[in-house]
């Protein structure tokens, strides 16, 4: 179900044809329309929107032989909310008379590789026209010659068609949506300095700024659905099991609260008070009950702020019921909130997961510490795959030598050359426990493919531990889990560079598992209450992928977004549509698919990407 304002974008197919009548056009009508129908069937069988809805494909009312029919097609596509445009043809057509000139809509052309009519010649001529006019388009041309009556779509053509269509739909879906900034800069993290110009010019999105006091107001005035709260709280009590409290015990000595000792995990007694004057200690059961209630209410409020809730209008809060039409968002939390209120870990983890108390549902792209640039790549990954995305600190590179020194054991298998510790300060999507299955292997699946057992397995393998009050003085609950090994994953990140603009980083690899003792020893050195994923990127022996250490050393920020599967090629295609150059990736050359105009900017593909993006400028 589409939870955002407006209709979902559609894919439009433009069957172009040689306009000469009295024999030529007539002989090509059936073949041309068959190409369009074959692609329509492919898209409808293989692509869904991120909300699970099947994609709708619109074909022009007639083949397009000249400018009048091009205009008629453009008018139809505008009425039908077409956000992605594909032209198909088996033959020569009149180039600039038949190409799609609509600005801002991703475009591609499939020119049939046949010998009877020169489809490849039109493809080349039309792409040259697109490049000359500054309207980049993707060129698709099969490797093998096909017979004119062959209605199949070759595998290599299918791969490019699907990559283009998925990326194009992501572009169209972002347009007009919002990024919701709950609070602003967290602990000086640059990514939480939300850049409205970047969102507007590159993504076509608004930025909505809401102070965290709005969350406090809704908590105090009970501005949330109370029936849903009771349902959510009961579900949480049943499914979110508490782990060991990491906070020290507190003993009062005499009647004066000033005279207290805290017994730490090592058994030593130390006196401790926070700067605010409240003692850091383990909360009692009554306090924890209230903290859980606040955490659950915050999750409801966060969701309502993102997409609205008609139930709030029934409570007399019509404005609040509307929401912010936010496709992505983030919560500042630290420190102005977490120094006195329960942290946002439960809210962030549950919103980012593909299920909650209402069952499986579309994940929210919701970032810790309001890191908007990490939220952007979470959004990219979700729109391309339909799956939940994991927000992580790219925390530590562990060399084989350092691991042996710390644990007395050696890394083995795919981890033998070192690992990267992905861990977030409290929340991550519960899907990344890795307890879902595809062909019997650990996976993260789109929410519409989840079954009850997979949801329950994710919950059963997650422990909720009280927030460490050295960090979170207002307490809260953080997720502890360990991701199963053997999952293909892609880590990505957008960074902003003064004078250059946004750049994208991509690292494909796999998760690995360590034995229990090794895992516990290494994870506990950081924080035992936070979710851990051990990552081994695929190395190439060159540049930023010389080895595992090089990947860590070249990563451009403290955070990364992790998506299930190797989606680096899809991200590269999407980035080229938005004019965001890729500064680091380990995607094989044969998988890189960008507009044909990029070929005119030099033979070094990555340098050409930078020059083309600068030349054509942001999409909006």
Give the list of residues 6+ apart from residue 213 with CB closer than 8 angstroms, or none.
none
Which of 541, 428, 546 has the alpha carbon at shortest distance from 489? Answer: 428
CB 112 within 8 A of CB 35: yes
Whether 449 sits among the annotated catalytic residues: the reply is no
Task: Give me the pLDDT at residue 272, please.
Answer: 41
Cα separation, 354 vs 379, whole angstroms: 14
Give strand ranges (E) for 229-364. Answer: 249-252, 260-263, 269-270, 326-331, 355-356, 359-360
- Known active-site residue 369: yes
pLDDT band per the 50, 70, 90 thresholds, residue 259: very low
pLDDT at 205 over 90: yes
Residue 470 is predicted with a pLDDT of 87
pLDDT at 268 over 60: no
- DSSP labels, 542-584: SGGGSSHHHHHHH--SSEEEEEES--HHHHHHHHHHHT--EEE
- The Cα 85–Cα 361 span in angstroms is 29
* DSSP-assigned letter for residue 201: I
**Could you give the 3-state DSSP secondary structure of residue 266?**
coil
Rounded to whole angstroms, the Cα distance separating 229 from 357 reads: 10
For the chain, state the CA radius of gyration: 27
Work out the percent of the chain whose per-residue pLDDT is above 70: 95
CB atoms within 10 A of CB 150: 14
Helix or strand holding residue 31 (H, E): helix 24-46
- Find, among 462, 464, 459, the residue nearest to 477 by Cα: 464
pLDDT above 80 (res 308): yes
- pLDDT for res 274: 41
What is the pLDDT at residue 37?
Answer: 98
Q: Which residue has the tokens 């929210």?
A: 364
Residues 6+ positions from 524 with CB-CB distance below 8 Å: none
Contacts (Cβ under 8 Å, ≥6 apart) of 415: 512, 514, 534, 536
Nearest to 363 by CA among 422, 423, 312, 430: 430
- Mean predicted confidence (pLDDT) in 43-65: 98
Q: Tell me the mean pLDDT in the region 221-226.
A: 98
pLDDT-derived band at 280, boundaries 50, 70, 90: low
DSSP 242: B
Q: How far apart are CA 75 and CA 61, in angstroms?
A: 11
pLDDT of residue 273: 43
Q: Give the model's confidence band at 255: pLDDT under 50 very low, under 70 low, under 90 confident, else very high.
A: very low
Selecting among 225, 393, 454, 508, the annotated active-site residue is 393
pLDDT greater than 50 at residue 459: yes
Say how far apart CA 565 and CA 490 lie, in whole Å.
Answer: 6
* Tens-digit pLDDT profile for residues 472-506: 999 999 999 999 999 999 999 999 999 999 999 99
Residue 279 pLDDT grade (very low, low, confident, very high; cuts 50, 70, 90): low
Q: In this predicted model, what pLDDT tens digit does every residue of 369-395 receive, in sequence order?
A: 999 999 999 999 999 999 999 999 999
Q: How many CB atoms lie within 10 A of CB 299?
A: 25
SS3 311: helix
DSSP letter for each residue of 468-515: PTTT-TT--EEEE-BPPSS-EEEEEEEEEETTTEEEEEEEEEEEE---
CA atoms of 330 and 419, how far apart (whole Å): 28
Determine the pLDDT at residue 493. 98
Q: What is the DSSP letter of 209?
A: E
pLDDT at 254 over 80: no
Neighbouring residues of 301: CB distance < 8 A, sequence distance ≥ 6: 215, 218, 219, 223, 224, 347
Residues 130-158: tens digit of each pLDDT = 999 999 999 999 999 999 889 999 999 99
How far is residue 117's CA from residue 354's CA, in Å, rounded to a whole number? Answer: 49
Comparing C-alpha atoms, which of 363, 545, 367 is closest to residue 458?
363
pLDDT of 367 over the 70 cut: yes
Question: Concatenated DSSP letters for 337-391?
Answer: TTTTS--SHHHHHHHHSSEETTEE-PPPEEEETT-HHHHHHHHHHHHHHSS--EE
Helices (H), 175-212: 196-198
Q: Which residue do the tokens 């020169």 mark?
A: 118
Residue 271 clears pLDDT 70, i.e. is over it: no
- pLDDT category of residue 120 using cuts at 50, 70 and 90: confident
Nearest in space to 484 (alpha carbons), one of 462, 513, 518, 463: 513
* CB-count exposure of residue 90 (10 Å: 0-12, 13-18, 19+): buried
3-state helix, strand, coil in the chain (%, to 5): 40, 20, 40
Of the candidates 15, 35, 171, the residue with the CA atom closest to the CA atom of residue 104: 171
User: Could you say which of 18, 320, 356, 369 is catalytic?
Assistant: 369
Q: What is the pTM assigned to this prediction? A: 0.94
Whole-number mean pLDDT of the chain? Answer: 93
Q: Helix (H, G, I), strand (E, B), or coil: what is residue 466?
A: strand
Q: Please give the pLDDT value at position 545.
A: 98
List of residues 6+ apart from 196 with CB closer than 8 A: 207
pLDDT class for 119, splitting at 50, 70, 90?
Answer: confident
Question: Can you give the pLDDT at residue 407?
Answer: 96
pLDDT-derived band at 269, boundaries 50, 70, 90:
very low
Q: Which residues are annotated as a binding site for Mn(2+)?
A: 369, 393, 559
Average pLDDT over residues 571-582: 98
Range 270-294 average pLDDT: 72
All residues at 6 or more sequence positions from 76 whose CB lies less than 8 Å from its CB, including other chains: 12, 58, 60, 61
Token output for 344: 């946002």
């Amino acid at each position: 179900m589409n939870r955002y304002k407006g209709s979902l974008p559609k894919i439009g197919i433009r069957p172009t044809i040689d306009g000469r009548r009295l024999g030529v056009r007539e002989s090509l009508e059936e073949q041309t329309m068959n190409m369009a129908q074959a692609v329509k069937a492919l898209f409808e069988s293989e692509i869904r929107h991120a909300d699970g809805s099947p994609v709708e494909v619109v074909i022009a009312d007639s083949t397009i032989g000249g400018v009048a029919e091009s205009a008629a097609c453009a008018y139809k596509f505008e009425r039908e909310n077409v956000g992605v445009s594909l032209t198909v043809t088996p033959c020569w057509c009149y180039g600039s008379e038949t190409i799609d000139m609509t600005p801002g809509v991703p475009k591609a052309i499939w020119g049939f590789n046949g010998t009877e009519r020169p489809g490849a010649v039109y493809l080349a001529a039309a792409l040259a026209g697109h490049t000359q006019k500054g309207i980049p388009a993707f060129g698709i041309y099969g490797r093998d010659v096909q017979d004119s009556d062959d209605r199949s779509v070759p595998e290599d053509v299918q791969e490019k068609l699907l990559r283009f269509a998925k990326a194009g739909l992501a572009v169209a879906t972002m347009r007009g949506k919002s990024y919701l900034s709950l609070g602003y800069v967290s602990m000086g993290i640059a990514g939480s300095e939300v850049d409205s110009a970047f969102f507007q010019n590159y993504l076509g999105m608004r930025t909505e700024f809401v102070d965290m006091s709005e969350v406090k107001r809704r908590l105090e005035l009970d501005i949330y659905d109370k029936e849903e709260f009771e349902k959510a709280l009961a579900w949480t009590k049943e499914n979110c099991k508490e782990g060991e409290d990491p906070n020290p015990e507190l003993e009062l000595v005499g009647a004066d609260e000033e005279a207290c000792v805290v017994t730490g995990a090592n058994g030593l007694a130390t006196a401790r008070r926070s700067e605010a004057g409240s003692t850091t200690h383990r909360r009692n059961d009554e306090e924890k009950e209230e903290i859980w209630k606040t955490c659950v209410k915050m999750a409801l409020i966060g969701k309502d702020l993102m997409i609205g809730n008609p139930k709030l209008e029934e409570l007399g809060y019509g404005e609040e019921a509307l929401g912010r039409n936010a496709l992505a968002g983030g919560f500042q939390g630290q420190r102005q909130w977490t120094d006195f209120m329960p942290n946002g870990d439960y809210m962030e983890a549950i919103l980012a997961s593909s299920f909650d108390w209402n069952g499986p549902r579309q994940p929210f792209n919701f970032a810790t510490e309001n890191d908007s640039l990490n939220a952007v790549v979470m959004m990219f990954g979700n729109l391309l795959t339909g799956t939940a995305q994991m927000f992580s600190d790219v925390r530590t590179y562990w060399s084989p030598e350092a691991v042996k020194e710390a644990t007395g054991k050696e890394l083995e298998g795919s981890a033998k050359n070192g690992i990267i510790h992905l861990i977030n300060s409290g929340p991550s999507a519960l899907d990344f426990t890795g307890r879902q299955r595809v062909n019997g292997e650990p996976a993260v699946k789109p929410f519409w493919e989840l079954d009850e057992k997979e949801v329950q397995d994710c919950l059963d393998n997650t422990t909720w531990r009280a927030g460490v009050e050295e960090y979170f003085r207002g307490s809260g609950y953080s997720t502890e889990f360990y991701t199963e090994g053997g999952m293909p994953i892609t880590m990505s990140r957008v960074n902003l560079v003064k004078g250059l603009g946004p750049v994208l980083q991509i690292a494909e690899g796999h998760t690995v598992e360590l034995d229990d003792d090794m895992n516990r020893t290494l994870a506990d050195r950081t924080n035992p209450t936070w979710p851990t994923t051990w990552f081994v990127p695929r190395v190439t022996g060159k540049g930023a992928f010389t080895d595992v250490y090089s990947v860590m050393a070249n990563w451009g920020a403290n955070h990364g977004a992790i998506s299930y599967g190797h989606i680096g090629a899809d991200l590269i295609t999407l980035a080229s549509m938005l004019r965001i150059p890729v500064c680091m990736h380990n995607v094989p050359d044969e998988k890189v698919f960008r507009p044909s105009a990029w070929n005119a900017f030099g033979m070094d593909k990555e340098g050409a990407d930078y020059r083309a993006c600068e030349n054509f400028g942001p999409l909006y």
